[in-house]
Amino acid sequence: MVKTLRFICAALLAALILLPFLQVIMRDVFGSAIVGAEELTRFLLICTVFVAYPLVVRSGENIVMGELRAALPARWRHWLGLLITLLSLGACVMIAVVTAMNISDNLRNATPTLKIPFWIFLGACFIGFAGGAVFHAIQLFRPETPEDSDTHSVSL
């Protein structure tokens, strides 16, 4: 499953790079911009962010300021970690469920120019949070490993 996700994500990212590039070539070299290219690019971004989210949860790369927690005594840290994972799981499940319900309400909704149906990116959103929930659930049963506790929050 992780492998599939990775391939989908990589394909999305490649499209995200190539599409605007192609648009530049079409407009500046051939003088005819592709109608709807921006819409498709935005749409791909939405899908990319959500579909890659389970990978973020899996590798523990969510942006977090863990400094206070790291300074707590081991037992407190353990219980707080459990609470965080539990509530994170809850939030993911909630969003996933609401999104799933939303898909049926939005079956006829589509983007204005290319008429890309909404269910595709709502589906991506569902995959993102459902996948996130799965990996949070795994964390719940496999409590933090020693190296987890001193990984610093890193964001770009």
Partner 1 sequence: AELRYAHVGAEGDFQTRFAAEAATEIEEATGGDVTVQVFPASQLGNVAEMVDGVRMGTIQMGHHDFASLARIVPEVAVFNAPFVYTDAEHAMRATDPATSPALQEINERLIEEGGVRIIGRIYRGARHISSNFEIKSPDDMAGKPFRAVPLDLWVSMVTGFGATPTPVEVSELPTALMTGMVVGQENPLTMISANKLNEVQSHVAMTGHMQSVLAVFVNEDTWQSLTEEQQAAITEVLDAKAAESLQWAQESEAALVEELKGKGMTFTTAENGLDLDAFRENVLAQIDQDFPDFGPYIEQIMSMQ
Partner 2 sequence: MGLILIVLFLALFVLGFPVVYSILLPAILYVVLEGLPLGLLTQRITYALDSFPLVAVPLFIFVGNLMNLAGVTDRIFRFADTLVGRIPGGLAQVNIFSSLIFSGMSGAALADVGGLGKIEIEAMKRRGFDAPFAAAVTASSAVVGPIFPPSIPLIVYGSVTSVSIIQLLLAGIIPALICIALLMLTAAIIAMVRGMPRADRWSTPREIGGALLPALPALLAPVLMIAGMLLGLFTPTEAAAVTAVYVVLISGLVYRELTVAHLWNAMLTTLRSTSAILIIVAAASLFGWILAVEQIPQDFSKLILTISSDPMILLLIANLIFFIAGMFLDSTTATLLVVPVIAPPMVMAGIDPVHLGIVVIFNLMLGLLTPPMGLSLFVVSSIAKVSLRQLLWALMPFYVPLLVTLAIITFADGLVLALPQLIR
Decide: is 32 part of the binding site for partner 1 (CB under 8 A): yes
Q: Is the four-CA dihedral 53, 54, 57, 58 of positive or negative sign? A: negative
Contact yes or no for 72/80 (Cβ under 8 A): yes
Strands (E), 7-151: none
Token couple for 152: 């610093």
C-alpha 155/C-alpha 96 separation (Å) is 25
- Shorter beta-carbon distance to partner 1: residue 9 or 37: 37
Q: Least distance to partner 2 from the beta carbon of 141, Å?
A: 19
Please give the single-letter amino acid code of residue 88. Answer: S
d(CA 85, CA 132): 11
17/33 with CB nearer partner 1: 33
Contact partner, 113, from partner 2, partner 1, none, Cβ < 5-8 Å per class: partner 1
104 binds partner 1 (CB under 8 A): no
Query: How many CB atoms neighbour CB 74 within 10 A?
Result: 7
Q: Give the distance from CA 145 to its chain's centroid.
A: 24
Stretch that binds partner 1, among 30-38, 43-51, 122-130, 141-149 (CB under 8 A): 30-38
Residue closer to partner 1, measured from CB, 46 or 84: 46
Cα–Cα distance measured from residue 91 to residue 53, given in angstroms and rounded to the nearest whole number: 14
- Residues near partner 2, by CB under 8 A: 6, 9-10, 13-14, 16-21, 23-24, 28, 38, 41-43, 45-46, 48-50, 52-53, 55-56, 59, 61-70, 80, 84, 87-88, 90-91, 94-95, 98-99, 101-102, 105, 121-122, 125, 128, 152-156
Contacts to partner 1 by CB under 8 A: 27, 31-33, 35-39, 108-110, 112-113
